[in-house]
Amino acid sequence: MRADIYFLAALFSFIFLLMVLNFVRRGRLKEQYAILWIFFGLILIVVSLRVEIIDWLAALLGVVYPPSLLFLLGIIFCLSLIVHLTVVVSRLEERVVRLTQEIALLWAEVGEGAKRKEEAAG
C-alpha cells in the first residue's frame, strides 16, 4: 500500500512539471518564475522517489515526526513566494499609476495642440 501512495506522489510531481513546461512553451510564464517552478517540480519528484531524504533531513534537524518537516518546508516556501508576489504587485501598481498619469497628461497635451491648430486656422 505504501508503495502506491509514493507512486502517486511521483506521478503528480511529474504531471506538475509537464504543466509548468507547457506554460513556458506557450509563453504564459516568465522565465524567472518558470525556473522556480521547474526547480520545485524536480525537487518534488526526487523527494517522492526517495522519501529517505526527508527522514534523513528530519533526523539531522532533530525533527521527531518527519512529515511535519515536509509541511514546515512547504509553508515556508508558500509564505516567501506570497511575500515576493505582493512585492511584485506593489511595483506593478506603482507603474500602472504612473503610466495612467502620463497618458492623461499626454492627452491633455495633444488636446491643447489640436485646439491651438484650430484657432490658428480659424
Partner 1 sequence: MTKPRVLVIIPAYNEEKSVGKVIAGLRRFCPEYDVVVINDGSRDNTAAVARAAGAQVIDLPFNLGIGGAMQTGYLYAYRHGYDIAIQMDADGQHEPAELPKIMAPLLAGEGDMIVGSRFVAPTGYRSPVGRRVGIWFLSFLLRLLSGQWIKDTTSGFRAVNREIICLFAHYYPTDYPEPEVLIILDKLGFRILEVPVEMKSRQAGRSSITPLRSLYYMAKVSLALLMNVLKKFDAYRLKGETG
Cβ proximity to partner 1, 86 vs 101, nearer residue? 101
Q: How far apart are CA 61 and CA 55, in angstroms?
A: 10
Q: Which three cell numbers stand for residue 88?
A: 511584485
Q: Which cell numbers in the block locate residue 41? A: 517540480
Q: Which of residues 32-51 bind partner 1 (CB under 8 A)?
A: none
CB of 76 to partner 1, least distance (A): 25
C-alpha grid cell, residue 50: 526517495
**Whether 18 contacts 57, CB under 8 Å:** no
User: Does residue 100 belong to the site contacting partner 1 (CB under 8 A)?
Assistant: yes
Per-position x/- string for 102-121, each x denoting binding to partner 1 as judged by CB under 8 A, each - no binding: -xxx-xx---x---------
If one asks whether residue 90 binds partner 1 (CB under 8 A), the answer comes out as no
CA-to-CA distance for 67 and 55, rounded, in angstroms?
8
Question: Which of 46/108 has CB closer to partner 1?
Answer: 108
User: Does 101 participate in binding partner 1 (rule CB under 8 A)?
Assistant: yes
Within its chain, how far is the Cα of 38 from the centroid? 11
Contacting positions for partner 1 (CB under 8 A):
97, 100-101, 103-105, 107-108, 112
